[in-house]
Amino acid sequence: MHAVGIPVFADVAELVDASGLGPGTREGVEVRVLSSAYRGPPPGPQYPLPMNAENERRSGVPPKLEVLETLAESDTGRPPILFVHGAGHAAWCWKHWMDGVAAAGYPAYAVSLRGHGGSGGSLLKAHLDSYVEDVIRTAATLPRQPVLVGHSLGGLVVQRTLARYPARAGVLVSSIPARPGLGTLVSLFKQHPSDGFKVLAGGSLPMRPEYLFNELGPEEAAGNVARTGGESPLAQFQVLFHRPVTDPLGDVPILAFGTPDDMLVPIGDVRDTARRFGADLIEFPGMGHDLMLDRRRSEPLEAMVGWLDAKVS
């Protein structure tokens, strides 16, 4: 059963045309299997040239994208879940939640946006619209229209993607708000003023354990931080001063997660975004910004699976 008012496309080409990216959208999306009991349709064609920054500049071809996959034990007919990471992270950060949704019957995919993880492309050239294109390109390789799940900056990318792509549903996890994210800049200046100045000067925000986790032990927190990387200066600037996001295509159900103890995104911003989209809102006091990695990560995961079962199954 499809949600009322959401366009549903049986043909990938028709869906890609509706998203406005045009021919070649699926090229260069490389799916890497993490766990797979059931093999669905194969991903789109592979672009043969490694898309480093210089090749991307010369060819004009979008960079190759790393996509991780974890499938359910059998084809349940449930929509796939496409996870979109936040600033300085990559597809790896969704491993726990990918396993969880796959166990519940939802095929799970996580994309590393250009310049992150194993994906090609240049962070210096990346911006929010190019990240949106990465998500749509990845969605075009999936067997069905997916649910989009975005964390932090990835939550803002999902908001912008929903305005162009008819997803089955959206889940915003500690998301940068639909309005300019100046609250995040204020949070930086309150904790580490030098980080705030660094971002304004075009530097990449350091991924500090105290920004991301409230409950993990020091060793596990440090291990996760060690896997993070840099972020696009332009995308960071857009987070602070972007225009309000336009409305989604169709009547898309949206779920918002947040925590009043988030050290990067104020809970007021999360609540404002939920009101803007008419989203269901669930808060998890005590947890840190990285809800999918903090110690009680199973709690928001279980809440999301229950919500998906009610809304899109």
pLDDT at position 174: 98
In this structure, are residues 269 and 179 in contact, taking their beta carbons and an 8 Å threshold?
yes
Q: Is a pLDDT exceeding 80 seen at residue 246? A: yes
pLDDT one-digit tens code per residue, 273-306:
999 999 999 999 999 999 999 999 999 999 999 9
The closest of 146, 159, 153, 71 to 115, measured between CA atoms, is 153
- Percentage of the chain with pLDDT > 90? 76
In this structure, are residues 68 and 34 in contact, taking their beta carbons and an 8 Å threshold?
yes
Segments making up each domain of the chain, as ranges: 12-311
pLDDT at position 242: 86
In sequence order, what E strands does the chain have?
29-35, 65-70, 81-84, 108-112, 147-151, 169-173, 254-258, 280-283
Q: What values do phi and psi take at 233, rounded to 5?
A: -60, -40
pLDDT at position 244: 84
pLDDT at position 243: 84
Residue type, 18: A
pLDDT at position 15: 53
Confidence band of 72 (pLDDT split at 50, 70, 90): very high
| Sheet bearing 81-84, strands edge to edge | 29-35, 65-70, 108-112, 81-84, 147-151, 169-173, 254-258, 280-283
Measured N-to-C along each axis, helices 182-191 and 233-241 cross at an angle, to the nearest 10 degrees, of: 110
Enter the pTM of the model: 0.84
pLDDT at position 60: 65
In Å, what is the CA distance from 57 to each residue of 21, 23, 280? 18, 19, 41
CATH 3.10.450.40 matches 12-311:
no
In this structure, are residues 275 and 190 in contact, taking their beta carbons and an 8 Å threshold?
no
Q: Is a pLDDT exceeding 70 seen at residue 308? A: yes
Q: Report residue 53 as tokens.
A: 């920054």
The mean pLDDT of the chain is 86
